[in-house]
Structure 1
Amino acid sequence: MTNGSAHFHDRAQAGRALAQVLAKADLSDAVVLALPRGGVPVGFEVAQELGAPLDIVMVRKIGAPGHKEYGIGALVDGAAPHVVIDHDAARAVGASDNYIKTTIATELAEIERRRNAYRTGPPVPLANRTVIVVDDGIATGNTVRAALEALAAAGAHKLILAVPVAPRTSLAMLRPLCDEIICLIAPDPFYSVGAHYTVFDQTSDQEVVSLLAEARGNLADKSPLGAEG
Structure 2
Amino acid sequence: MGHLFTDRAEAGALLAERLRGLKDPVVLALPRGGVAVAVPVVRRLGGVLDVLVTRKIGYPAQPELGVGAMAEDGEPVFDERLMTSLGLTRAALEKVVESERAELARRVRVYRGNRPLPSLTGRDIVVVDDGLATGGTARAALRFVDAAKPGRLTLAVPVGAPQTVRALRAEADEVVVLATPPDFHAVGQWYGSFEQLSDADVLALLAKE
Report the TM-score, using the length of structure 1 for normalisation.
Answer: 0.85
Summarize the alignment of residues 47-58 of structure 1 with structure 2, pairs less than 5 Å apart: 47-58=42-53
Q: Determine whether 1:42 maps to 2:26.
A: no
Q: Which residue of structure 1 aligns with residue 110 of structure 2?
A: 117
Does the 8 Å CA contact 2:24/2:46 hold for their aligned counterparts? no
Write the distance in 2 (CA, Å) between the matches of 1:32 and 1:115. Answer: 16
Does the 8 Å CA contact 2:72/2:108 hold for their aligned counterparts? no
Describe the SS at the equivalent of 2:147: coil
Q: Which residue of structure 2 aligns with residue 83 of structure 1?
A: 76
Judge which range, 132-141 or 12-21, deviates more: 12-21
Structure 1 alignment gaps of length 5 or more: 216-229
Shift of 1:44: 1.2
Does the 8 Å CA contact 1:62/1:74 hold for their aligned counterparts? yes
Describe the SS at the equivalent of 2:55: strand
> Where in structure 1 do 4 or more consecutive aligned residues deviate above 2 Å?
64-70, 90-99
Q: Which residue of structure 1 aligns with residue 140 of structure 2?
A: 146
Computed over aligned residues only, the root mean square deviation of the Cα atoms, in angstroms, reads 1.7
Write the distance in 1 (CA, Å) between the matches of 2:10 and 2:64. Answer: 24
Q: Which residue of structure 2 aligns with residue 221 of structure 1?
A: none
Task: Find 1:191's aligned residue among 185, 192, 201.
Answer: 185
Q: Which residue of structure 1 aligns with residue 62 of structure 2?
A: 67
Q: Determine whether 1:27 maps to 2:22.
A: yes
Q: Which residue of structure 1 aligns with residue 174 of structure 2?
A: 180
Does the 8 Å CA contact 1:65/1:94 hold for their aligned counterparts? no
* Structure with larger Rg: 1
Shift of 1:93: 4.3
Matched pairs, number:
208
Shift of 1:139: 0.6
Describe the SS at the equivalent of 2:76: strand
Describe the SS at the equivalent of 1:152: helix
CA distance 1:199–1:6, shift in 2 (3 Å): closer
Shift of 1:47: 0.8
Residue by residue, what CA displacement relative to the aligned partner does 1:66-92 show, whole Å, maximum 9, x if unpaired? 4333221101222xx311111222344
Describe the SS at the equivalent of 1:195: helix
Structure 2 alignment gaps of length 5 or more: none
Task: Find 2:99's aligned residue among 106, 120, 126.
Answer: 106
**Percent identity over the alignment?**
42
Write the distance in 2 (CA, Å) between the matches of 1:183 and 1:45. Answer: 16
Counterpart code for 1:114 = R
Q: Which residue of structure 1 aligns with residue 162 of structure 2?
A: 168
Report the TM-score, using the length of structure 2 for normalisation.
Answer: 0.92
Write the distance in 1 (CA, Å) between the matches of 2:101 and 2:185. Answer: 29
Does the 8 Å CA contact 1:11/1:41 hold for their aligned counterparts? yes
Q: Determine whether 1:11 maps to 2:5.
A: no
